Structure 1
């Protein structure tokens, strides 16, 4: 091999290595180092639960460390922006949720492009939401709560995972559908909001079933209604919103995985395949069922289409509720 040919080969090797470091090639070697999954809320909520559930499974499947970092604040925008800015090398991912589709309805400008700044991979968990009150609350049914709220406008308060979170906007829609007024108490995540509820700091909370079920079963919270076409098997005595007299309220939650813009399609496909395999594990299916939830697994294109549709739905819902981007 002459010196010219050797120089060309060396340049090729260096160029290939640079591409690999940028996440554009060598996806077949992924994951070759620990993988960070950012949850943009405090620990304890369903987004955190979904992220940790799949991180543990992926660690088991690959032998490589998948770990969760909680980056709470700004209604999820702080953690989400960090992922959007991260190198697209397969080392950083985001566990997001329904709140992501609500952000354009609440913020006139986001620190990333909502349409193209992230690459949707798949849904992890899909779940109904449940209306809960503290165990010592005088309200035994949803009708009791609504009746009192109408007689005492603004006297009741409700918790949420933060201004602009799914728990916030979903409750705004509930208040509108039930024709009541209540005061908003924001927290840094749904887990914190649930802790506020069980310590009697808030009167009611609407949240995903995995956040609420342990507290309901532990006797620290009481469920008044759950969304969906039928009752949740783990909460057989809890009526649906339709049964409780509010058929218009049909909110459901999703929790998913996304990657920074520019991440190699091979890495996206590999992550999707690992997640889908992990979610098919009977142990995970059973674990989710015990939380009133079920496994996701949408294909990336389907998930992206759902986010676009949900964004339009929640933007319209916010407008109807009198909420405008700030």
Structure 2
């Protein structure tokens, strides 16, 4: 009789636990959710975050709002989210830069793998090398030739030391056997404005940020890292076509929470992201700007981040990047 009672109690507790999990997942979110972007407004990460927030708000019938906290290659915003309560109401939208941070900084205030709960990779995009509209360079070969003749005579802008735009530029220099002078900004948006204004000579940007500027004639595109030319930019050659076949850098833009966030909340967020990026208007908007909606599982995104931390670490070491 005691065994029967115990078994019944366990069954009741299990049922109650699953009900609680299901209820928590169903009830979330009950108030506004903040998505922190670690860069200034205007960059691709900010753009993707705002499109995602708008669609997730519509899907969930609750507000998802974007807050920008630029500076220190994204570490300021990331540290703030890592200090927040792990309840799913403080999220981080970051990009490939996140996987580069361990290669840039000697010490971070959080563990880049253990202290996050990845939600989903939202979108991916090739990168594109752009120059000001009045630049004398009309091809990648011309740019590379000038840079080889006078090392560090040309400047390249980035969204900050250790950012994805920075290390993408380092990879480019390594493969092209050139040396450019790095000029870091607080975000990709600021770096792009500097390029448009002619303050810097070169930038390697994510395509969603660059395409509007290319179409408006404010900048020129010399090469793109996609396997084939983009329909949106049929006149822009791939890096392979332009003479650098090994340059295959891609950017991702993903959503993470702090470790310790209840698994059922992560599952709910993952479902919301997938539903949001499955919307035809979102996919179309991404595609028009050269980005592809992803929406993978939390586990897949977690594995991707860990793998890229290793690979970008090797890239930074090869480039001789000294940790701060």
Q: Matches of 2:77 and 2:54 in 1, distance apart?
A: 20
Which one is further off, 226-235 or 194-203? 226-235
1:90 Cα deviation after fit: 1.4
Per the alignment, residue 261 of structure 1 pairs with 259
Partner residue in 2 for 1:41? 39
* In structure 2, C-alpha distance between the alignment counterparts of 1:32 and 1:269, rounded to whole Å: 16
Structure 1 residues 51-66: aligned runs within 5 Å: 51-66=49-64
Q: How does 1:68-147 map to 2 (within 5 A)?
A: 68-147=66-145
Q: CA deviation at 1:25?
A: 7.8
Shift of the alpha carbon at 1:55?
A: 0.2
Q: Which residue of 1 aligns with 2:8?
A: none
Q: Secondary structure at the match of 1:132?
A: strand
Q: Structure 1 length normalisation: TM-score?
A: 0.92
Quick check: 1:242–1:248 contact (8 Å CA) kept in 2?
yes
Q: 188, 195, 214: which one pairs with 2:186? A: 188
Residues of 2 paired with 1:290 and 1:153: CA distance? 36
Is the counterpart of residue 208 in structure 1 residue 206 in structure 2?
Answer: yes
CA contact under 8 A between 1:105 and 1:314: conserved in structure 2? yes
Displacement, 1:194?
0.5
Deviations 1:123-180 (A, max 9, x none): 1110000000000000000000000011111100000000110000110110111011
| Of 294, 307, 317, the match for 1:319 | 317
Alignment-derived partner of residue 241 in structure 2: 243
The root-mean-square deviation of aligned C-alpha atoms, in Å, is: 1.5
Unaligned runs of 5+ in 1: 1-15
Cα displacement string for residues 30-81 of structure 1 (whole angstroms, at most 9, x for unaligned residues): 1000000000111110110111010000111122110000000110000011
Answering whether residue 162 of structure 2 is matched by residue 164 of structure 1, we say yes
Q: Secondary structure of 1:242's match?
A: helix
Give the alignment's TM-score, normalised by structure 2: 0.92
Looking at structure 2, the residues matched to 66 and 115 of structure 1 have their Cα atoms a distance apart, in angstroms, of: 25
1:183 and 1:25 map into 2 onto residues whose CA distance is: 55
- Aligned length, in residue pairs: 306
- Say if 2:119 and 2:297, in contact at 8 Å, map to a contact too: yes
Q: Is 1:275 aligned to residue 273 of structure 2?
A: yes
Structure 1 Cα separation of the partners of residues 261 and 25 of structure 2: 10
SS at match of 1:301: helix
Contact 1:25 1:264 in 2 (8 A): no
Tell me by how many angstroms 1:28 deviates: 2.6
In 2, the alpha carbon distance for the partners of 1:293 and 1:180 equals 29
Q: Name structure 2 gaps, 5 residues minimum.
A: 1-15
SS in structure 2 of the partner of residue 139 of structure 1 = coil
For the residues of structure 1 that align with 2:203 and 2:306, how far apart are their CA atoms?
27
Contact 2:34 2:91 in 1 (8 A): yes
Corresponding residue for 2:65? 67
Deviation at 1:323, TM superposition (A): 1.3
Deviations 1:217-249 (A, max 9, x none): 000000000002111111111000000000111
Query: Does structure 2 conserve the Cα–Cα contact (< 8 Å) formed by 1:27 and 1:264?
Result: no
